Structure 1
């Protein structure tokens, strides 16, 4: 489970940086605290579906972006 949390965090950070946003800007866009987002990006905090959904909306990507396809 730890690997999945870290993977999500890395993807969130990469997507945020591709937009050129600071954590402060990202926080304002998704309504989550800077501290929480920092912990998520570093894989130190798990994330609820509702928080991940807020992140996805801010980034303009579907929630399914973070879920692997199961065959």
Structure 2
């Protein structure tokens, strides 16, 4: 059961990203989603936050209509 729950929860947490009206909001929301996903997957929370923040900001710059 644990093996199935982790990927599903990770996917749900990743879906929370790509929100925010400003650069700061996008970075903060991405960092939160990345940190939460890393915690669920028993990985480095700091690295997850960094990757999540960078990924969310990059996504919102590439697809601004999806982030407003």
Between structures 1 and 2, the one with greater helix share: 2
Give TM class, smaller chain: 0.3 to 0.5
Q: Which has the larger radius of gyration?
A: 2
Taking structure 1 as the reference length, the TM-score comes to 0.35
Taking structure 2 as the reference length, the TM-score comes to 0.36
